[in-house]
């Protein structure tokens, strides 16, 4: 049992020009000290808050699984701050397509799967012969990796299966007493976990969609590779986080409402038009519902024309809603384009029903 400390870094300091200054802050100095001592620390990335430990030390990585309650067959992503660190983690050469994608999207929310070197322990990769690696763009994440001079294994800093944390308060709610330190860097910019890809001969497989979209990847690899999204099969061991288990879910049952469905008819048919039901819909749908006799509480998910905003606030609104005592949450599906594909991936993983 830990007494969890929270050390904040001022928002106006969080800039890529200030990475060296951030490295010298009390928060980063303390976080680095703990990681070197094989402890775990929560810190912000541009996607969500991560729970980091030395990726090369088995006993350190084990503490990640223990703190989160995460199944040990669910592989972790290793975070680096400099390209040369990659060569200590992987075996063999970097494929040309990977090289192009690294040049375009690192640092940033793209994770690439490589054959792993013997330096990476089996626990980090869930026993696989591959390792997932990314270079985050968040100044705090980069400063922490620089200060430790270690690659950091870092899944989302939440209890396993629950919505990922995009604020330090979310981390504290889930992991207070389970980890020694949270570095508070404010809200995460993207709000959804990184895109995860695996590159094979002539093909780029997207194992988990994110802010780096299929169109963006096609724009880099051109006509040399087929780019496609892969759905996990239960009998196949997952190579990426977010593929096998139920993820991102609030405790309250969550139903996804298809765009083609009538919310008012669903409420009537299921006898759920009451104050125990919460509806989360787009700004546009919200305006339509206000003219109907709706007894439920309604929350604004954001405009259908601003999918980035919806992505950034999705986990926050799910977490907040979970604390308000509702018996059921209905959430409207969003367009499956751009980052909307990643939004729907997370909602589908979290939902108990799609109607």
- Round to whole Å and give the CA distance between 268 and 18: 55
Looking at the 3D structure of the chain, how many domains does it have?
Answer: 2
- Is 235 part of any domain? no
Residue 157 falls inside a structural domain: yes
Whole-Å CA distances, 58 to 119, 279, 320: 11, 44, 35
- pLDDT value at 339 more than 70: yes
Q: Answer yes or no: do 170 and 261 share one domain.
A: no
Helix, strand, coil percentages in the chain from 3-state DSSP, rounded to 5: 35, 20, 45
Give the model's pLDDT for residue 233.
Answer: 57
331: left (phi over 0), alpha (psi -120 to 50) or beta: beta
pLDDT tens digits, 15-31: 999 999 999 999 999 99
Residues written for the chain:
355
Categorize the per-residue pLDDT at 235 as very low, low, confident or very high, splitting at 50, 70 and 90.
very low
Beta bridge partners of 255: 330, 353
Residue 334 burial (10 A CB sphere; 0-12, 13-18, 19+): buried
pLDDT in tens, 287-303: 888 767 789 999 999 99
* Residue 125 predicted with pLDDT over 50: yes
Q: pLDDT confidence of 319, banded at 50, 70, 90?
A: very high
Residues 115 and 190 occupy one common structural domain? yes
282 and 223 both lie in a single domain: no
- Are 211 and 88 contained in the same domain? yes
What CATH number did the domain enclosing 258 receive?
A: 3.40.50.11030
Summarize the confidence of residues 137-145 as an average pLDDT.
98
Domain boundaries, position 345 = 254-354
In a domain, 241, yes or no: no
Task: Verify that 195 and 262 share a domain, yes or no.
Answer: no
């Amino acid at each position: 049992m830990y007494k969890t400390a929270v050390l904040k870094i001022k928002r106006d300091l969080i800039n890529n020009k200030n990475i060296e200054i951030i490295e010298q802050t009390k928060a980063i100095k303390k976080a680095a000290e703990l990681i070197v001592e094989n402890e775990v620390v929560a810190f912000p990335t541009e996607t969500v808050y991560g729970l980091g430990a030395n990726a090369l030390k088995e006993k350190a990585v084990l503490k990640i699984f223990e703190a989160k309650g995460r199944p040990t067959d669910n592989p972790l992503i290793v975070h680096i701050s400099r390209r040369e660190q990659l060569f200590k983690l992987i075996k063999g050469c970097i494929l040309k397509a990977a090289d192009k994608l690294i040049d375009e999207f690192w640092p940033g929310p793209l994770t690439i799967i490589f054959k792993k070197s013997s330096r990476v322990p089996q626990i980090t990769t869930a026993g696989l012969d591959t390792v997932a690696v990314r270079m985050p763009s968040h100044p705090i994440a980069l400063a922490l990796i620089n200060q430790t001079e270690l690659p950091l294994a870092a899944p989302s800093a939440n209890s396993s299966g629950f919505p990922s944390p995009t604020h330090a308060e979310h981390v504290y709610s889930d992991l207070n007493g389970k980890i020694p330190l949270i570095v508070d860097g404010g809200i995460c910019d993207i709000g959804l976990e990184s895109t995860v890809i695996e590159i094979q001969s002539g093909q780029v497989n997207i194992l988990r969609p994110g802010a780096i979209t299929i169109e963006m990847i096609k724009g880099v690899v051109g006509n040399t590779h087929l780019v496609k999204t892969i759905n996990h099969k239960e009998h196949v061991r997952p190579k990426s986080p977010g593929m096998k288990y139920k993820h991102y879910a609030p405790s309250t049952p969550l139903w996804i409402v298809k765009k083609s469905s009538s919310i008012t008819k669903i409420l009537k048919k299921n006898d759920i038009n009451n104050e125990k039901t919460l509806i989360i819909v787009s700004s546009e749908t919200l305006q339509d519902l206000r003219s109907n006799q709706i007894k439920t509480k309604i929350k604004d998910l954001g405009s259908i024309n601003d999918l980035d905003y919806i992505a950034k606030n999705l986990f926050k609104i799910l977490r907040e809603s979970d604390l308000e005592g509702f018996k059921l949450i209905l959430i409207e599906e969003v367009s499956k384009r751009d980052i909307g594909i990643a939004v729907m991936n997370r909602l589908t993983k979290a939902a108990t029903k799609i109607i």
